């Protein structure tokens, strides 16, 4: 069922700012207080943040969507939905994703900033390098899962999203709708 602007008038869950543990606590508090049946709109504006916190919030949405079939959890991205915000949005079914006019999504690769200081026995140095490679490979796997969630049901291929993510892919609301990344624009 398509939603109209009236359905988004007073969202019971309002989130703005960095996706971090403070946002998660606010999200959980509002989520638990929100209606348990009918349409529940979760509005978000963010310049990004911690992708693992976004995944935690997203798992709450996925879990409750499966357990509460009488409750429709809907995402409304307002103005800027960057990086971790897009990750959060990817946990909503495509038909439950909406953006405001002129809103922008940002899709990019996960970031890593790490200095490796190798000193000591060679086997210890090799162990430290292998641990870092494992960290990077696992992060890439998680990133790919998120990309797959984001594009599910859209006309975007995994190769296209990978290519765009390398150089920071900004997707305006109309383009997101045309590509099938979201359902509608409010």
Q: pLDDT, tens digit, for every residue of 168-179?
A: 999 999 999 999
Phi/psi zone of residue 66: left (φ > 0), alpha (ψ -120 to 50 degrees), beta? alpha
**What pLDDT, in 10s, does the model give residues 81-115?**
999 999 999 999 999 999 999 999 999 999 999 99
**What pLDDT, in 10s, does the model give residues 111-136?**
999 999 999 999 999 999 999 999 99
Domain ranges in the chain are: 5-185
Strands 104-107 and 169-172 turn out to be antiparallel
CA–CA gap between residue 141 and residue 17 (Å, rounded): 27
pTM for this prediction: 0.93
Average pLDDT over residues 152-177: 97
Comparing CA positions, the residue from 181, 183, 17 lying closest to residue 105 is 181
Tally DSSP H helices, then E strands, for the chain: 6, 7
CATH class for the domain made up of 5-185: alpha beta
3-state secondary structure of 69: coil
């Amino acid at each position: 069922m398509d939603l109209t602007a009236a359905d988004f008038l007073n969202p019971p869950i309002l989130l703005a700012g960095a996706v971090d543990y403070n946002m998660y606590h606010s999200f959980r508090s509002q989520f638990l207080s929100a209606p348990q049946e009918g349409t529940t709109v979760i509005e978000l504006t963010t310049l990004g943040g911690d992708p693992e916190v976004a995944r935690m919030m997203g798992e709450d949405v996925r879990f409750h969507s499966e357990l509460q079939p009488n409750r429709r959890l809907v995402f409304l991205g307002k103005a800027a939905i960057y990086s971790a915000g897009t990750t959060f949005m990817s946990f909503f079914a495509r038909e439950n994703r909406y953006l405001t006019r002129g809103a922008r999504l940002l899709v990019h690769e996960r970031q890593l900033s790490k200095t490796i200081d190798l000193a000591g026995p060679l086997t210890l140095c090799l162990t430290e390098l292998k641990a870092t490679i494992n960290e990077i490979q696992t992060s890439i796997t998680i990133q790919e899962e998120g990309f797959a969630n984001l594009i599910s049901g859209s006309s975007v291929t995994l190769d296209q999203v990978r290519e765009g993510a390398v150089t920071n892919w900004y997707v305006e609301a109309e383009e997101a709708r045309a590509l099938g990344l979201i359902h509608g624009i409010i």
